Amino acid sequence: MTYSAAVITVSDRSSRGEREDVSGPIAVAALREAGFACGDPVVVPDGADSVEAALRDALTDGIRVIVTTGGTGLGPRDETPEGTRRVITRDVPGIAEELRRRATAEKPGGMLSRGVTGIAEAAFIVNLPGSPAAVRAGIPVVVAVAPHVLEQLRGEDHR
């Protein structure tokens, strides 16, 4: 079965065209390579409201795997987790913990990511940090667990 996926890059500078989005295309390429139907990244400015709106748009479009990149740090406009929490109805903290563990193994700053992971409607939502290295480290986790998450959401038995 082919699942739909979307990548949302959260960055003020990229949304204004001041900096190329590098992380979003990495996530898209990995999802496509794993067999997900995934369009090009959507780029939105930092902030909880823009993240919430983009997530709700993806849900309305029937997307089942939504990956955000960026806005998970400690900066004043890093509010991706806050916007995501407005949308998810169930947390899946073990995945977020593993993503932080992998990012921290690469760089100690990885433990500063506040990204969350959860379920909204019949979709799986994952916040990744915005650095290309963090996306490369984290997207294999998403690709590995997403099909099982979606099967569970459909009520299928454990594998």
- What is the per-residue pLDDT across 57-95, written as a single tens digit (0 to 9) for each? 999 999 999 999 999 999 999 999 999 999 999 999 999
Cα separation values, 37 from 73, 90, 106, Å? 29, 24, 29
- What is the per-residue pLDDT across 116-136, written as a single tens digit (0 to 9) for each? 999 999 999 999 999 999 999
Residue 9 bridge partners (DSSP): 43, 69
Domain assignment present for residue 47? The answer is yes
Domain assignment present for residue 94? The answer is yes
Domain assignment present for residue 119? The answer is yes
- Six token digits for residue 38: 């995934």
Single pTM value for the model: 0.96
- What is the per-residue pLDDT across 10-27, written as a single tens digit (0 to 9) for each? 999 999 999 999 999 999
Domain assignment present for residue 159? The answer is no
Domain assignment present for residue 107? The answer is yes
For residue 32, the enclosing domain spans 4-153
Domain assignment present for residue 158? The answer is no
Residue 8 to residue 43: CA distance in whole angstroms = 6
Domain assignment present for residue 91? The answer is yes
Between helix 93-106 and helix 132-153 the angle, nearest 10°, is: 160
Residue 114 to residue 124: CA distance in whole angstroms = 17
Domain assignment present for residue 117? The answer is yes
The domain tally of the chain equals 1
> What is the domain-level CATH number for residue 100?
3.40.980.10
Residue 64 to residue 79: CA distance in whole angstroms = 22
Q: What is the largest CA-CA distance in the chain?
A: 47
Helix (H) or strand (E) holding 23, with range, is: helix 23-33
pLDDT at 159: 59
